Structures are given as structure tokens and as C-alpha cells.
Amino acid sequence: MVQVLWLILASIVTFTVGYLAYSRYLARFVELDDDRETPAHKYDDGQEYVPSKKPVLLGHHFSSIAGGAPIVGPITAGAIWGWLPALAWVAIGNPLMGAVHDFVSLSSSVRHEGKSIGYIMGEYVGERGKNMLLWFAFLTIILVVGVFALVVGIVLNAYPQAATASVIYIALAIVFGIYLYQMDGPLIPGTIVFVAGVFAGVWVGIQYPIALFELAEGTHPAGTLVLFGGTGSWIPGAGTAALNGNAAAWVPVILLYAAIASALPVWVLLQPRDYLSSFLLYAGVGGALLAIIVGTLLGTSAEPLVVADSINAFEGFFGVDSVAPYPLFPLLFVTIACGTISGFHSLVSSGTTAKQLNKESDARLIGYGGMLAEGLLATTAIATLAIAGGASAAAGGGIGGALPNFAAGGGVILTSFGIPTAYGGPFMALVLVSFLLTSTDTAARLGRYMMEEIVGTQGSGTETGLSGGIGSFARGRYTNPVLQCGIAYVLVISGEWATLWALFGGANQLLAALALLTATVWIANWDRSKQLISTGVPMALMVTITVLGLVWITVYENLLVNLVQGGAEGIGSMLSAGVQIVLGLVLIFLALSLVRIGYANISDARRGRGPDVQPGDD
């Protein structure tokens, strides 16, 4: 039997080489300079532009990019095609493509006043290219918000302990923000006290779980406080393949939370919450990795930490028999929507992180290193699948199978430290929720940034949106999140989890290709002598892979199987399939158009048809 320790070591080796060698080269390549003033200092407004200490910003950045996708995606891919293809794509692709993507997205934004990748594209190819990329990003953001809210609802339904702990650490984050930014309290003592509070909240959550409704089938853990009577069967989306009444009820709660959190100043909740929760996340990922090493070498785990017999290294090009034929190329790379490369990260890097970077050299650890940390999370997820087994359940049920494998496998891993599975399993579920919540409200905030750049801003760009007018409503601090969350809710309540996840994955990966295209355009215009291989080759690969993946999802799965052959049952499912077809075709059109425009600009720059520009020259 294969020990899961070898899976972990494979990623650690490639990630270490990537950070020590390749990231150092990239830092010199983009000429990071601490003497250059960053946007956080230049535009410090205490609202969006806030210079942040490196550990605080790393915590925010890592918490924001590491949502549920690097857990669900690798587990589902490993279950369908085997653990080896999933591990290889994470271990090799992350340092060569994903970490490069995050680093250049952050670096280019810092050189352009902390603006988004859409703004940067517009600087070189014009307003049309800028708006096309911003619309692509905004549509992707809606999919991100919807998918993450759906997953959080399912997680809180499966583990009501996570609901209590989440409420506690959000409350602690607000108090910590006041302590840190209004009372100017020292960071280290505050960190010790509030992080201890977060872990105490984990214990409280295990002792006093919270649910919104009773379960129609089965029961909640003993001692669960159920807030409303009945099973919630009347809630929109309840009774679908993905949601029961309790899970469906959590979805609008999460969307409301995301809308409110995205409208608050970053110091109130986003920064302190992400910083505190990062310790929970580090404990979950780092603790699991260390537990695998200790349990393997010392034999202290309750079960042998080896790959289960039910999980094969390779299940064949079309995957396991329990699911419909899923070709490994291109769907493996779409299914693993994060963990290797993720376009959502470019929105975080150029949306919130670039506005908070204290000095340019911090970009190497936060941008490149933060993505490697997510790769370790993805590797840990594959390890939990390998230990827990249950391939057919994970493959056929998407999140329904992925979550039990992550929690169950993680619980077994933590027994290496003497932690009972009754505590280890819920703790790993809490780790998953922490990732999801931070990414959901960050995505909603980024969606507002995208719309502000599409329709333009007036004054400080922080208007409420309540003053009237379509433009004001679209970009408003309070109204824009309502727009995003409303559309996301319509997509979620159809219950079409499988196709929604695949569409999200395809859009997300294609956005990564466009972010790499933006970086390539910037570099080509900045200095005609600089090589374009580091960003250009990953960009070309991701454009090819993701366009083919979106064509499969849009034309084959939704149009042919769901609509023509009648695979979609019910008005909601058919409507969802129709909306996804339209979204898929629009995304493909926008992406290919941008590639054509970007390629033309790069060709002109290389032929010397325009003067060199300095990085960040507006």
C-alpha cells in the first residue's frame, strides 16, 4: 500500500524548489523595489487603502483565496480519475502556473495604483478590452458567490458545530478590529488573546451546535439548538438534489452576511477576521500535514495512514464507471478549480491585497507563497480522500461526497496527536467553513470593485447606491452586493450543483488565463527586451484547456444532455441549464475576443510600434 506521506512530500519538494528558486527569479524579473511607494501608502484612506503588516496581510490574502474549491475540487477529481492525476496537476502546476499567476497579478496591480486586472488591460488595449475583462470578472464573481454560499449551506447542515464557531469568531473579529485599529492595541498580545478565543469558539461549537431547521431524514448531533420549527421544506431550493430545508435556509443567511460584510470598511471585519481565522486555517492544514508525518513515522494514528483500497492511482481517461463519461482532458483541470491555478486569486490580488501591501518585496511571500500554501491545502484534501476512501460517493455526489471524505479522513489523520475522531472530524469541517466564509464576502467586495470600474465612480468611489440612478445602484456600497447576491441566489436554488460547479470551474480557470494575458501585455509594453515565457506559456495552456472545458460543459452537458435529451427535470433545472448555457457562451466569446485583442497589442509592442512605458505609468 502507498503511504499518504509520499503524496505530501511530492508537493512539499516541488513547492520548496519553486519558492526558493523560481519566485526569487520572478521578484528580480519584475524589479520589486522597497523604495517605491505602494498604493497603500500613497492613497491611505483608512477604508480601502490601508498599509498592513506582512503577517496580517498574508493572513487576509490566504484566507481570501483559499475557499472551499481547493478542498472540493481535488477530492472530486481524485475520486473520478484517481489520486495520481490530481496530485500531479497540483504538485507541478502550482509553482509553475498558479503561483506565477498570483504573483504577477499582485505585482502588476501594485504598479498600477492598486487597480484591477481589467483596468490594467485597459491601459494598454483600450476601454473596450478593459470593459470586456471587467464584465468577464464580474460574471465569474457571481458564480463564485453562488457556489460558495451553496457549499457553506451544505457544510453547516452537515456539521452544525461549525455554525456556532463561525458566529463566535466573526464577533471576535469585529472586537479585534476595534482593538487593533481604533484603540491601537499591540499586535502580538492581541493575537494571543483573540486567537485563543477563536479556538475556544471551536470547543463551544462542538458542545453547542446550531441549526435552523430539523432534518427531514436523520437527526442533528445531540444537543443541537434548532432555531425554527419544522423541516423548512417551504424554503426555496429545499428538496433538490443538493439541498434539504436546513441547508437551503442557510444559503440566504450566508448571502446576507456576505453583502453586509462586503460593505463594511476593511478594518471592521475583513482584515481582523481573516487574520484571526488564518490561525485556524494554518492549524488545520499545518496540523494535518504534521500529523501525517508523525502518524506515519511513529505509528500513533488510529488507522494506518495509507491509500485505501477503494482509491486507485488512475481510474482511466473517462473516470470511474459510477459517473457519466468525464474525459480527463480537459475536465480534470476544470474540476480542480483551485489548488493549482485560480482566476479568482487575480481579483483578490489586484482588488484588496494590492491596496494593503506595505512594501513591494512583501509581494513574493504573499503572492507566490500564498498560492503554495493553497497547494498544500489541496494536497491535504487529496490525502484525506486517500485515507477515507469512498471514491464512488465523492465522484457521484460532488460536495455531498467530498465533504464527508475531508472531515472523516482529516479526523483519522488528527488521531496521530491523540485527538478523538469525534473532535477531529468537526474541527476539519470548521476549517472548511472558515475558508468558505472569508472567500464569499471577499468575492462580493471584489464584485463591487469590478462594477465601479465598469460604470465609473464619483467622488471617493464609496457612495451608498441609495441616491437613485442605475449607475449609482450598480456600483453602490450597499446596493451592488444585493445585485450580486440576488442573481447568485437564483442560480443556487435550482439545486443543479454538478453543472454549476463545473461552470464555475471553467469560468474561474479561464479568468486565470486572462489575468496571465494581462500580465503578459503589461510586461510586453513595459520593456520589449523582457521575456514573455513565464506568463505567456501558462496563459496559452489555460486558454486552450478552459475553452475546451467550457464548450464541453455548455454544449454537451447542458444543451445536449440536460435540454435536448431531457436530463434536466423540472422547470428550475431547465431554467438553470438555460442560464448556464448563456453564461458559458458569453464567457467563451469574451475570452476569445480578449485573447485576440491582447495578442495584437503584444505583437505591436514587440515590433516597436509604441514607446516603452514604465511599470505603473498611467
* CA geometry: angle 59, 64, 67, nearest 5 deg: 120
Residue 312 pLDDT level (bands cut at 50, 70, 90): confident
Amino acid found at 205: G
* pLDDT greater than 90 at residue 142: no
Yes or no: say if 168 and 205 are a contact pair by the CB < 8 Å rule: yes
Measured distance CA(452)–CA(480) in Å, rounded: 9
* pLDDT greater than 80 at residue 494: no
- The pLDDT of residue 251: 92
Yes or no: say if 320 and 390 are a contact pair by the CB < 8 Å rule: no
Residue 548 pLDDT level (bands cut at 50, 70, 90): very high
- Joined together, the cell numbers standing for residue 560 give 445536449
Q: What is the pLDDT of residues 160-202, one digit of tens each?
A: 888 898 888 889 989 998 998 888 888 889 999 999 998 888 8
Yes or no: say if 235 and 132 are a contact pair by the CB < 8 Å rule: no
- Joined together, the cell numbers standing for residue 64 give 481570501
Measured distance CA(567)–CA(555) in Å, rounded: 13
Measured distance CA(618)–CA(615) in Å, rounded: 9
Average pLDDT over residues 422-435: 79
Measured distance CA(584)–CA(310) in Å, rounded: 35
Which backbone phi and psi does 605 adopt, to 5 degrees?
A: -65, -40
Average pLDDT over residues 46-63: 83
- Joined together, the cell numbers standing for residue 76 give 472530486
Measured distance CA(406)–CA(383) in Å, rounded: 9
Q: Is 37 helix (H, G, I), strand (E, B) or coil?
A: coil
Amino acid found at 279: F
* CA geometry: angle 16, 286, 3, nearest 5 deg: 75
How many Cα neighbours within 13 Å face the side chain of 179? 17
> What percent of the chain clears pLDDT 90, i.e. is strictly above it?
32
- The pLDDT of residue 544: 94
Cβ–Cβ contacts within 10 Å for residue 564, how many? 9
Measured distance CA(574)–CA(455) in Å, rounded: 32
Find all residues with CB under 8 Å of 158, minimum gap 6, and list them: 403, 404, 407, 429
- Joined together, the cell numbers standing for residue 77 give 477529481
- Cβ-count burial 470-486 (b if 16+ within 10 Å, e if not): ebbbbbbbbbbbbbbbe
Which backbone phi and psi does 160 adopt, to 5 degrees?
A: -60, -15
* pLDDT greater than 80 at residue 603: yes
Q: Is the dihedral of CA 377, 380, 386, 389 positive or negative?
A: negative
Average pLDDT over residues 293-309: 88
Amino acid found at 25: Y
- Comparing CA positions, the residue from 380, 384, 407, 416 lying closest to residue 307 is 384
Q: What is the DSSP letter of 467?
A: S
Measured distance CA(243)–CA(262) in Å, rounded: 25
* pLDDT greater than 70 at residue 617: no
* pLDDT greater than 70 at residue 85: yes
Measured distance CA(212)–CA(529) in Å, rounded: 60
Taking all residues of the chain, what is their mean pLDDT, rounded to a whole number? 84
Least confident of 50-59, 105-114, 287-296: 50-59
Using CA atoms, how far residue 25 sits from 21, 100, 537, 554, in Å, is 6, 11, 17, 39
Q: Is 387 helix (H, G, I), strand (E, B) or coil?
A: helix
Residues in the chain: 618
Q: What is the pLDDT of residues 355-390, one digit of tens each?
A: 999 999 999 999 999 999 999 989 998 998 888 875
Q: What is the distance between the terminal CA atoms of the chain, rounded to a whole angstrom?
A: 58
Cβ–Cβ contacts within 10 Å for residue 611, how many? 9
* pLDDT greater than 70 at residue 286: yes
Amino acid found at 365: L
Q: Helices 328-335 and 533-551, interaxial angle, to 10°?
A: 110
Q: Is 332 helix (H, G, I), strand (E, B) or coil?
A: helix
Find all residues with CB under 8 Å of 153, minimum gap 6, and list them: 243, 247, 248, 249, 250, 251, 254
The runs of H, that is alpha helices, within 527-570 are 533-551
- Joined together, the cell numbers standing for residue 389 give 476512501
* pLDDT greater than 80 at residue 329: yes
* pLDDT greater than 90 at residue 32: yes
Find all residues with CB under 8 Å of 346, minimum gap 6, and list them: 101, 102, 105, 117, 511, 512, 515, 518
- Joined together, the cell numbers standing for residue 157 give 447542515
Using CA atoms, how far residue 499 sits from 52, 77, 449, 576, 577, in Å, is 39, 15, 27, 9, 8
Cβ–Cβ contacts within 10 Å for residue 187, how many? 13
Cβ–Cβ contacts within 10 Å for residue 188, how many? 8
Look at phi and psi of residue 495 and say left if phi exceeds 0, alpha if psi is from -120 to 50, else beta: left
Q: What is the pLDDT of residues 254-271, one digit of tens each?
A: 999 988 888 888 788 877
